[in-house]
Amino acid sequence: MKKIVLATGNKNKIKEYQNLFSSLEYEFISSEDIGLSLDAVIEDGLNFKQNALIKARAIASQVSYPVIADDSGITINALYGFPGIFSHRFMEDYSYREKNSAIMHMLENCSNRRASFHCAIALVYANKEFVFEGVARGEITHREFGIDGFGYDPIFFSYQLNKTFAEASLNEKNTFSHRAKASKKLFEFLKKNKDII
């Protein structure tokens, strides 16, 4: 079985990828599993696509396997796209419950609560680079809903699901999430190019 390295230490992301790609004959291993860390990697890109490529290149330079890295985050219309590429680094030393509370507080007097989750997945192998992107549209709720998911999922109400990502099952999220949409494009690419990757 062919190996692909996921440039992440996030166990939730690995679980989602394994579920999404279960029908393909690839074994997904995390960069942490092979002793590689992204701690020293500086994500100084201007958008999700650039940051995904920065992470993928950093790991690809150290392994012979294809490498996948993603960068994702939430953009909020009333906050001019904030936190965007800083979604993970926003209030970095605080829990997501506290981050979610802060964002809801920022929108306290806003009628426009529209938001989008974005995901860019970079695939780097044999000096070739590809990026697959997905967007999920919705709005920020007034309080947290649901116990599943992670990060900003409890305050993101998905228009397609008619519930928050944290209220959705893994199968529902893997159909309509930003990562699912980008992953489907990657899935089709891997399926068509399985002989060379």
Which of 197, 180, 105, 171 minimizes the C-alpha distance to 143?
Answer: 105
Count of residues in the chain = 197
- Exposure on the CB side of residue 15, measured as CA atoms within 13 A: 8
Whole-number Å distance between alpha carbons of 20 and 17: 5
Question: Burial, 41: exposed, middle or buried (Cβ in 10 Å; 0-12, 13-18, 19+)?
Answer: middle
Q: Could you please report the per-residue DSSP string of 153-193?
A: GGGEEETTTTEEGGGS-HHHHHHHSHHHHHHHHHHHHHHHT
Tell me if residue 148 is catalytic.
Answer: no
Residue 12: which H helix or E strand, with range? helix 11-20
Say which of 71, 93, 148, 195 is annotated catalytic. 71
Which of 130, 139, 147, 3 minimizes the C-alpha distance to 64?
Answer: 3
- Residue 98 tokens, joined: 């506290």
Catalytic residues: 71
